[in-house]
Structure 1
Amino acid sequence: MATMMSLSLQEGTIETGYRLTGHWQTYVEALGKYDTQLIRSLIYGLVVTVATLAISYPMAYWIALYGGRRKNLFLLLILLPFFTPFIIRTLSWKFILADNGIVLGNLKEWGLLTEGYQVLATQSAVLAGLIYNFLPFMALPLYVALERLDPSMLDAAKDLYSNKRQTFLRVTLPLSLPGVFAGSLLTFIPSVGDFLNSELLGSVNTTMIGQVIQREFLVNSDYPEGAALSFLLMFGVLALVFLYTRAIGNTEELTGG
């Protein structure tokens, strides 16, 4: 990290060499050029986190409380995509969402979609790929938290005449907040910095900051700007994580956690 920080404060090229200037002009220029991509990445990360939470919580809740002897089987099904490389999983979505692919092609033949309708190279395709690829990162911490729930706590709530909704809001949800917190971090942080989904499933209008950083390092060989963008991304992520941590802490205080 110290090397990256030093690199971000240098000027020059590979041909002429780099020299340490010690000023922050590279950060100002990088933020001015790529603020849209940075903000878009942070928004995508938030959307993916909320979406995976909405999908994973009911799934993890059912497996933990009602999965019975088949819990391990259900967990294996969640983890099954991880037996294939990340790029293969993303490429499979590219084929699925193609204009004449197995999904859209059949829907168009059946007259359910117009011929000009497309999903690939849109924001929806990028978000779908991100949600699919990072869903297990949310589901597993939630399952662990819910599986550890003390049944006596739920029984006590029933003895106090709490209905299912009250039991969930006052007992289950507060006790599962550590899983929500862990899953959110494990999902948000890598999804913000992802570049593969937007590269394969998106277009120039869905470019994420990870793509820009990759291009600066590997294509343009502009290491100072790439390093500056990396730190700007890190600062943005840390700021949102700090706010989220404070919000979770306040929620636990209000619920008596």
Structure 2
Amino acid sequence: MAFAIPAGGARRTRTARRRGTFVPFLLLAPALLWLVAFFVVPTVSLASQSLQTGDIDNGFTLTWNFATYADALSRYWPQFLRSIIYAGSATVGTLLLGYPLAWFIAHRSGRWKNTLLVLVVAPFFTNFLIRTLAWQIILTDQGPVAQFFRSTGLTTVLQAVGLTENDSLLNSQFAVISGLIYNFLPFMVLPLYTVLERLDSRLLDAAGDLYANGWNTFWKVIWPLSLPGVVSGTLLTFIPAAGDYINSKLLGNTQTVMIGQVIDAQFLRVLDYPTAAALSFILMFAIIVLVASYVRAAGTEELV
């Protein structure tokens, strides 16, 4: 038996459906407006600025001068390459230090778990600049760290691999990379902890029942299951580290200048806004390409 829907009921149904269609957009509207105001508009403005010509005295005019990009890249490619190398080194360093720490907090810390997590995020309560300045004191030539490195011969090793030019730890590649590792270590530890804390311990017991040793258990069970945290942590570390300029400015020398430091100088001292904007876009494009390639190679899209 067929039942006819009254005309008024059909109209109300269609009206309810239309309202349901617009509800998600209304909920997204505040976030979309925020993105447009504070990301899209500044990005478009920066793109326009990169294609302008002129100077600070006579003003800048949009002339669609794409040659600025080629000129900026040809002049500052060493700083670009150095930034990628330093950021990559810092990312590897944070992973090597952060993975065991995250595992210990997740599975071995017991009642001290919350305390250790607070200690991991505690540096965030201190200004980034102050944290970096503290490393000038830590790595000073008269400090215990430098004396330990000299007494153990580690300064000779650092010189051999090109991380320092003499027995001083300050104003060197070692100091810059160490500062990056310290400042961005929490960005690696927290995603790793989130994944490792959810790891089912019964899987480790099963691996032991199948006669897997510690290394096989890690490589075949723990590591694959922790890849989402590894990918998230490396992205959260590499992206800001590649554009950092504080560590290279305070802990490095003229041979450790990163591209962020060049952009800062072009904007605030040289006042060459088109070049600074072009360098910013080149850096952004390079990071996007590297990140997309990395995520694809990692084989996981489940980011924490």
TM-score w.r.t. length of structure 2: 0.77
Q: Note the C-alpha offset of 1:102.
A: 4.6
**1:115-153, CA deviations, whole angstroms, 9 ceiling, x for partnerless residues?**
x72111111111111111111110111000100112232
Residue number in structure 2 paired with 1:168 = 218
- Mapped partners of 2:124, 2:85: distance in 1: 25
Partner SS for 2:60: strand
Residue number in structure 2 paired with 1:39 = 81
- Mapped partners of 2:144, 2:297: distance in 1: 43
Q: Note the C-alpha offset of 1:77.
A: 1.6
Supply the AA of the counterpart residue of 2:138: I
Supply the AA of the counterpart residue of 1:182: S
- Mapped partners of 1:26, 1:58: distance in 2: 45
Partner SS for 1:99: coil
**1:198-231, CA deviations, whole angstroms, 9 ceiling, x for partnerless residues?**
0000011000000000011111111110000001
Partner SS for 2:134: helix
Q: Note the C-alpha offset of 1:111.
A: 10
Q: Match for 1:185 among 215, 235, 255?
A: 235
Q: Match for 2:198 among 148, 160, 178?
A: 148
Identity %: 53
- Mapped partners of 2:149, 2:94: distance in 1: 26
| Cα 1:14/1:244, change in 2 over 3 Å | same
Q: Match for 2:61 among 19, 27, 43?
A: 19
Residue number in structure 2 paired with 1:218 = 268
2:133 is equivalent to residue 91 of structure 1: yes
8 Å contact kept, 2:188–2:234: yes
Supply the AA of the counterpart residue of 2:92: V
Matched length: 250
| Cα 1:142/1:238, change in 2 over 3 Å | same
Supply the AA of the counterpart residue of 2:296: R
Q: Note the C-alpha offset of 1:21.
A: 1.3
- Mapped partners of 2:97, 2:185: distance in 1: 8
2:284 is equivalent to residue 242 of structure 1: no
Residue number in structure 2 paired with 1:64 = 106
- Mapped partners of 1:95, 1:104: distance in 2: 11
Q: Match for 2:95 among 25, 46, 53?
A: 53
Q: Note the C-alpha offset of 1:157.
A: 2.4
Supply the AA of the counterpart residue of 1:79: V
- Mapped partners of 2:215, 2:147: distance in 1: 42
- Mapped partners of 1:10, 1:34: distance in 2: 19
TM-score w.r.t. length of structure 1: 0.91
**1:149-185, CA deviations, whole angstroms, 9 ceiling, x for partnerless residues?**
1223223323333332222112111111000000000
Q: How does 1:70-109 map to 2 (within 5 A)?
A: 70-104=112-146
Q: Note the C-alpha offset of 1:15.
A: 1.4
Partner SS for 2:299: helix
Point out the more displaced range, 152-161 or 56-65.
152-161
Structure 1 gaps, min length 5: 253-257
Q: Match for 2:176 among 96, 102, 126?
A: 126
Q: Note the C-alpha offset of 1:66.
A: 1.3
Runs of 4+ in structure 1 deviating by more than 4 angstroms, as ranges, are 105-108, 110-114
